[in-house]
A and B are shown apart, each in its own frame.
Chain A
Amino acid sequence: MSEPLLQLTGIVKTFPGVRALDGVDLTLRAGEVHCLLGQNGAGKSTLIKVLSGAHAVDEGEIRLDGEPVSFGDPQAALDAGIATIYQELDLVDGLSVADNIFLGHEKTRLGFARVADTRRAARELLTSLGHPEIRPAREIGSLSAAGKQIVSVARALSRRARLIVMDEPSAVLDPDEVEGLFRVIEGLRASGKAILYISHRLEEIRRIGDRLTVLKDGRTVAADLSARDTPTSELVALMTGREVSAEFPRRTEPVPEAPPLLVVDGLGRDGEFEDVSFSVRPGEIVGLAGLVGAGRSEIVETVYGARRAHRGSVTVDGRALRRGSVDAAVAAGLGLCPEERKSQGLVLDEVVSRNISLASLTRFSRLGATRDAAERAAAHEAARSVDVRPDDPDRVTRTLSGGNQQKVVLARWLLRSCRVLLLDEPTRGVDVGARSEIYALIRSLADDGLAVVVVSSDIDEVLGLSDRVLVVADGRVVHAAASDSLDAHAVLDLILATHEAADDHTAAHDPKGDAA
């Protein structure tokens, strides 16, 4: 192999009270896709910030082309040819594609923007990435997540980046879009760029990665492994420090004669989904499978009242819910763990116990005055019952890992004694080890008599977790069956069949339809 492009040795970075990086070694070569694996909190984000110049290192050495370097600020890292594409893309929504690509190093003459040149250069970059259909004059805000990602890559290239760091780029993409991204990455690799690819999804790493490095607790625990051939069990063991046996908990039969707890009948919203009907019995887990943009999240949010239904009804235990009213839904015993946990689910700067008690405040008050001790004790108990770690109800929620934040939202609904639980992407941003815990938790909740609805883009997750599966495509339920009777291929076929049948319709209909 050639001389390393970038070599990190013994990197240490401490924050007050935390040793975020505690001896990280990483070697990157030109023309390779290097994957970085690690649980949430293993130090991946800190490492990215070190590479992008946002954090200065306390100890250790960074060598670029064999020469020791130190990045005082992000500009220095950019000048050295290292570009980072963050998970929350740092694009300016109000500016055009071309302006975003050249933001910070605008093409100007005597202080005047050279619009035509900028657009031409932007078009060349986008074409070289295989996406000539993204027009340089278009406003960024109107692009899909995938489109924005392509623009971010073009921006990195416009800086003559030699190393592109990608932080969970697939998290916001649906499978088609991920394929498109991979084609772009392969093109970059072929042109001799180095890619540092960070993802939770092992299947992606196997598909796109060349080599991989595993971080745990701020240390490199394994480096230079083959991305394709290292067994999954070994990777999971390296990340979590324990062997993972069964990912999904065993199903238990719901009581067959029990009447359905949640009945959704003919639900519809203009431009989003139509004629959705299903029911869930106590103890049953029903999954909604489908691609991003198919309308799954819209369906559960409408059931919950967060969006107002235009047609149809939602009935809980025989009583119809008022349309478009979250508090009516909550009063009837519904609980939602939303897709965007941080922006929709949690008050991040508030402590764990108060996030848990948020939906049950009236229970812990007398004449409007809160009974703090009782509230905290009950919240603490709920947190323990779902095993939130660390076991500290006074901890600020922001500092928890993704999996534990998800458990906090679950604990909220347990404390509220909710009877119907709606889970939208319950394991998004949750690392592999913690996922099985969440699965087990969801199953045990169902066993306790809750009716559960699960939405996920991960078809295996829906199939593995649910008792019954509804396949959603293009705003309609195209198939409903017991999950034993389906496999991932069958579900994908159902989805793709709908797509082909309604291709024209989709283009006019799908709000996110401008994907690459």
Chain B
Amino acid sequence: MSTSSVTGSTKPATAHPQKRARSLGVARNLGLVVALVLLCVVGLVTAGDRFASTNNVITVLSLASAIGVVAIGMTFVITGGGIDLSVGAIVALASVWASTTGTQAMAENVGWIVIVTTAIAVGIACGVINGVLIAYGKIVPFIATLAMLASARGLAEILADRKTQIIRDQGFRDALGARPFGVPVIVFLFALVVIAGWFLLNRTTFGRRTFAVGGNTEAARLAGIKVQRHTVYLYALLGATCGLAAVMLMSRTQTGSSTHGLMWELDAIAAVVIGGTLLSGGRGTVVGTLLGVLIFTTLTNVFTLNNLSTSVQAVAKGVIIVVAVLLQQRLANRTT
């Protein structure tokens, strides 16, 4: 742009682009909202009351909770310019570790909180290892987390001896199985994570640094941001969400298993990317990720209500990814 001298009142000059930026954000999510509404319309038309019932809505939200929490964590890592392929494996390891007889025995003495703490601590530990390997070991995220994917699931299998571990701790089952106002606790937890995630990304210095690190790592470093430490924090945060997801899964299935979270890395990345977060970093949206997760979960629900096979679902999922991303690009281009 030429440097023609802009003088006079600054009010109009500042108000306009801000409005533009906001409508851009809305436009980016608009495609997703349209997709979700369309899915709901299909659900209503084909399954009627079975789809619209409170129970069904709660089921969809419950099913979205665990993978949703992971996807929110993934949004941070991807916005910060990284990727994590090990989330599913971390979920499995956290669930197994937190449901070993040793942990359960301790929970009996101390309380169910031991199980929750263990799961989240295991998640954070895995995340910290990922982060340290990437930030200080200078291993590309793809490779470092690929290694974690293999070894975390392997360790989970060893710990569990490839058996499904039943959670017998009644305190845990009661606490996380509770249904205040008829809604399961894990749905509340999911909502909490979404709100906290949105706030953390958009309204804190942590979020601001995440955008900067993902947008231009070198510029962030030279501006005095501790990029390496921040990278570790990002992966640790994702690890923590994986631990929480493991808790949610343990509550829903009442088991810990090395088969929990298979292929979740792809589901989470898909939800984040159709949500509008740039895979190359520097731009991310928690609301978009939430919509992405809801779209996938609702899709499965509507298909099951209509008794359609998983193969058809898989095809529809692929089509939705492409259509949602194309739609976003169209709408975003129109507003610029």
Contacts and interface: CB of A to CB of B under 8 A. Distances in A.
Contacts of A412: 223
B282 A347 contact: yes
Interface in A361-383: 361-362, 364-365, 368-370, 372, 380
Q: Which residue of A216, A362, A392 has the most chain B CB atoms within 10 A of its CB atom?
A: A392
Contacts of B205: 361-362, 364-365, 368-370
Chain A facing B: main interface SS: mixed
Interface in B10-28: 10, 13-14, 17-18, 21
B10 A392 contact: yes
B208 A345 contact: no
A84 B285 CA distance: 39
A395 interface: yes
A402 to B, nearest CB: 10
A83 B181 CA distance: 70
A32 interface: no
Nearest to A384: B10
Contact of B1 (A306, A359, A372, A401): A401
A344 B3 contact: no
Contacts of A329: 224
Nearest to A18: B1
Interface size class of B (residues with CB under 8 A): 35 or more
B310 to A, nearest CB: 39
Interface string A299-326: 0000010100000000000000000001
B199 A361 contact: no
A100 B222 CA distance: 34
A421 B270 CA distance: 44
Given A41-B1, A361-B208, A369-B199, A350 B215 contact: yes
A346 B219 CA distance: 6
Nearest to B20: A394
Nearest to A358: B223
B283 A391 contact: no
A343 interface: yes
A427 to B, nearest CB: 14
A343 B218 contact: yes
B3 A345 contact: no
A403 interface: yes
A217 interface: yes
A365 B5 contact: no
A58 B221 CA distance: 43
A326 B224 contact: yes
B4 interface: yes
Contacts of B17: 392, 394-395
A350 B211 CA distance: 8
B226 interface: yes
A357 B224 CA distance: 12
A369 B204 contact: yes
B282 A400 contact: no
B219 A41 contact: no
A358 B212 contact: yes
Nearest to B1: A41
A327 B224 contact: yes
B1 A399 contact: yes
A239 to B, nearest CB: 11
A390 B215 CA distance: 23
A349 B222 contact: no
A39 interface: yes
A394 B13 CA distance: 9
A347 B220 contact: yes
A202 interface: no
A394 B14 contact: yes
Given A343-B216, A361-B205, A394 B18 contact: yes
Q: Which residue of A343, A351, A358 has the most chain B CB atoms within 10 A of its CB atom?
A: A358
Contacts of B3: 39, 41, 389, 401, 403-404, 433-434
Contacts of B199: 369
Nearest to B202: A370
B4 A345 contact: no
Given A347-B212, A390-B13, A306 B6 contact: no
B133 interface: no
B260 interface: no
A347 B222 contact: no
Interface stretch (A48-56, A141-149, A150-158, A330-338): A330-338
Interface in A387-421: 389-395, 399-401, 403-404, 412
Contact of B206 (A368, A392, A404): A368
A388 to B, nearest CB: 10
A389 B224 contact: no
Contacts of B155: none
B168 interface: no
A326 B217 CA distance: 13
Interface in B189-227: 199, 203-209, 211-212, 215-216, 218-226
B307 interface: no
Contacts of A389: 3-6
A358 B14 CA distance: 20
A372 B203 contact: yes
A389 to B, nearest CB: 5
Interface string A255-267: 0000000000000
A163 interface: no
Nearest to B18: A394
B4 A326 contact: no
B336 interface: yes
A361 B220 CA distance: 12
Interface string A36-80: 000101100000000000000000000000000000000000000
B2 interface: yes
A344 B13 contact: no
A390 B1 contact: yes
Contacts of B14: 380, 392-394
Contacts of B5: 389
B218 to A, nearest CB: 5
A380 B209 CA distance: 19
Nearest to B2: A41
A16 interface: yes
A135 B215 CA distance: 38
A16 to B, nearest CB: 7
Q: Which residue of A306, A351, A364, A370 has the most chain B CB atoms within 10 A of its CB atom?
A: A370
Nearest to A41: B2
A304 B222 contact: yes
6 contacts: A41-B2, A304-B222, A343-B216, A346-B219, A358-B212, A401-B2
Question: What 9 pairs between A and B have smallest CB-CB spacing?
Answer: A330-B224, A347-B215, A361-B205, A390-B6, A41-B2, A359-B223, A394-B17, A358-B223, A347-B216
Given A348-B216, A370-B205, 17 more contacts: A326-B222, A329-B224, A331-B224, A336-B222, A338-B219, A338-B222, A343-B218, A349-B215, A349-B282, A350-B212, A350-B215, A358-B212, A358-B220, A368-B205, A391-B6, A392-B10, A401-B3
Interface of B: 1-6, 10, 13-14, 17-18, 21, 199, 203-209, 211-212, 215-216, 218-226, 282-283, 336
